[in-house]
Structure 1
Amino acid sequence: MKANELKRGMVFDNGGQNIVVKHVQVQAPSSRSGNTLYKVRGQDVASGQKFERSFKGEENVTPVDIARRAVQLLYRDADGCTFMDGETYEQYTLSEEAVADELPFLSDGLEGITALITDARLLAIELPTTIVLEIEATVPSMKAASSSARTKPATLSTGLVVQVPEYLAPGEKIKVNTETREFISRA
């Protein structure tokens, strides 16, 4: 498989390390003859260490065979986050460090999560592209709200802070993009 085929959530072998891709940034060449670079940020499955490397588009990478299963977040505690497989009811626990990027979106009972599993071990999780969260706190909306799209910060039920339109109030449910961490619409 070529490096230009890497996508978020894929797992590949990097000299004996299994790396879960968290983010891929494409860097176009500044000259015509230059190669396009793919800056890959991820995490080593075994140690949890951050991984960052630039690949040329034609460089070969070895994909790791993994199973993708639908799981649900059961609860969070001192050990980390515990997920349950929707079909087998098997439970998996990941440390909070392993899900640090996804933590601001995780709430008890959350469904639609995809687990990356190999050898009966949970490697990482993938969140859906959009997720519904409730606004817990935000500044009050102004009576003379203008027609321009002004925004204000809002703290969501998981502690995540996003910019939302002025007309939204605490208690309302909104859709949030998990990749950009931005408000999409009311739920």
Structure 2
Amino acid sequence: MKANEVKKHTVLAHNGLYYVVREVEKSAPTARGGNTTYRIQMFSIPDGHKVDLSLRADDDLESVDLRKREATFSYMDGEDYVFMDVEDYTQYILSAKIVDDIKGYIIEGVEGYYVSLIDENPIALAPPQSIVLEIVDTAPELKGGSATKRTKPARMSTGIDVQVPDYIENGTKIRVNTETGEFMGRE
């Protein structure tokens, strides 16, 4: 796999260990794109040590052959998240470290979560591309506004904050992009 093909939540092998990618940042020093570099932030599995790599677009990385299984969130077991396979009802126990960056997008009754497995051990979780969350706390709309598009922070039912348009109120259900954390629209 080339560095320019790496995406968030990809699992890679590096120096004999497995890593899950949390962030990919592209930087092109010139307008023509010469010497484009990719800064890849990844965390080791399962202990969560952070590693940053800076690579050129055509540098090779070793992708890991893993199995992805669709699952739904069942319940919390202490600090662990328990997901159930939608086909064979196998339970996958994922530690808080594995789901740390996406725990605000984990809710019951939602389809589209994928558990990544290496040798039947769950090592990563990918959420659906978007999810519907309810706003529990946001400031009221400012009156006498202008024609500009203003946003304000809103606290979701899962505890994360999302920037929403000024006219959105408490109790509103909104769709949130799980990759960017951005407001997509009302439900």
SS of alignment partner, residue 124 of structure 2: strand
Partner residue in 1 for 2:22: 22
Partner residue in 2 for 1:93: 93
TM-score, scaled relative to structure 1: 0.90
Partner residue in 1 for 2:104: 104
Would the aligned equivalents of 2:80 and 2:96 in 1 still touch at CA under 8 Å?
A: yes
Amino acid at match of 1:111: E
Cα distance in 2 for partners of 1:71, 1:57 equals 33
Partner residue in 1 for 2:58: 58
Cα distance in 1 for partners of 2:13, 2:103 equals 25
After TM superposition, give the deviation of residue 83 of structure 1 in Å: 0.8
Cα distance in 2 for partners of 1:6, 1:142 equals 42
Change (3 A) 1:87 1:167: same
SS of alignment partner, residue 102 of structure 1: helix
Q: Which runs of 5+ in 2 are unaligned?
A: none
Partner residue in 2 for 1:178: 178
Cα distance in 2 for partners of 1:32, 1:184 equals 32
Would the aligned equivalents of 1:76 and 1:108 in 2 still touch at CA under 8 Å?
A: no
Change (3 A) 1:42 1:145: same
Would the aligned equivalents of 2:111 and 2:128 in 1 still touch at CA under 8 Å?
A: no
Amino acid at match of 1:18: Y
After TM superposition, give the deviation of residue 148 of structure 1 in Å: 3.3
Would the aligned equivalents of 1:68 and 1:115 in 2 still touch at CA under 8 Å?
A: yes
CA RMSD of aligned residues (A): 2.0
After TM superposition, give the deviation of residue 69 of structure 1 in Å: 1.2
Could you give the per-residue CA deviations for residues 93-133 of structure 1, whole angstroms, max 9, x where no partner exists? 11112211001221233321111112111110111221110
Partner residue in 1 for 2:75: 75
Moved more, 142-151 or 75-84: 142-151
SS of alignment partner, residue 71 of structure 2: strand
After TM superposition, give the deviation of residue 134 of structure 1 in Å: 0.6
After TM superposition, give the deviation of residue 58 of structure 1 in Å: 2.0
Residue identity (%): 41
> Is 1:43 aligned to 2:43, yes or no?
yes
Could you give the per-residue CA deviations for residues 59-118 of structure 1, whole angstroms, max 9, x where no partner exists? 221111001111111122423111111111011111112211001221233321111112
Partner residue in 1 for 2:136: 136
After TM superposition, give the deviation of residue 152 of structure 1 in Å: 2.2
TM-score, scaled relative to structure 2: 0.90
After TM superposition, give the deviation of residue 26 of structure 1 in Å: 1.1
Cα distance in 2 for partners of 1:126, 1:33 equals 31
Change (3 A) 1:136 1:29: same
Change (3 A) 1:146 1:35: closer
